[in-house]
Amino acid sequence: MHIRRTLPSLALLAGLLADPALAAAPPATGLGQSWPNTTDVSTNPNWHVYVFARGSTRYIQINDAQGVVRGAFARTPYSLVGLPIGTDAGNLSTPDEPLPPPASRQSVQVYQGDGVQAFVAPQPDGTARLMLVSSDCKADPINCNKGSP
């Protein structure tokens, strides 16, 4: 008898707990927009970071303070790659696609989640080196991307 009363309560509780998780799922549209209709998940107030998803791939877009799309990455179950999007699309570095060290190595973390961290290193010429590394990287992100000399 006690079980019959408990089961409906557990089902209701499970439903209530599931709804916020579904609402927090990253959107599948908006990649490439200056101000996409999704939550800014940046860890730095000077940058905007947006996460999108399609299937098992997460897309991490980094915009500057004015909303200019600087670049985006794709995090698949097997690799981290830069996407050909944004003003700094040629300046994206990952462990799977490392670049030589930039002129300025000073970087700030702008995102942490989904097993990765994203960093931005503003460069003297106005560009930015965008770096995506695994969450277990505790060193300079340039070194984690095998971009050190």
Each residue of 26-58: pLDDT tens digit?
A: 888 899 999 999 999 999 999 999 999 999 999
Please report whether residue 18 resides in a domain.
Answer: no
Q: Which of 15, 14, 41 is nearest to 27 (CA)?
A: 41
- Domain hosting 100: range is 27-144
Q: Is residue 84's pLDDT more than 50?
A: yes
pLDDT class of 1 with cuts at 50, 70, 90? low
- Label residue 25 by pLDDT band (50, 70, 90): confident
Cα(123)–Cα(38) distance, rounded to whole angstroms?
28
Residue 15 domain-assigned (yes or no): no
- At 72, the amino acid letter reads A
In tens, the pLDDT along 115-135 reads 999 999 999 999 999 999 999
20 belongs to a structural domain: no
Domain count, the chain: 1
**Is there a domain that residue 80 lies in?**
yes
Does residue 123 form part of some domain? yes
- Rounded Cα gap, residues 80 and 58, in angstroms: 10
Torsion angle in degrees (nearest 10) through CA of 84, 45, 141, 72 = -10
The answer to whether position 7 is within a domain reads no
CA–CA distance, 106 with 11 (Å, rounded to integer): 51
Residue with tokens 């200056």: 34
In a domain, 149, yes or no: no
Query: Which of 57, 31, 65, 50 lies closest to 118, judged by CA?
Result: 50
Give the side-chain half-sphere CA count within 13 A for 51: 19
The rounded mean pLDDT for the chain is: 85
**Listed residue (97, 93, 134, 138) closest to 115, CA to CA:** 134
Report pLDDT for 71.
98
Domain assignment present for residue 11? The answer is: no
Higher pLDDT: 44 or 25? It is 44
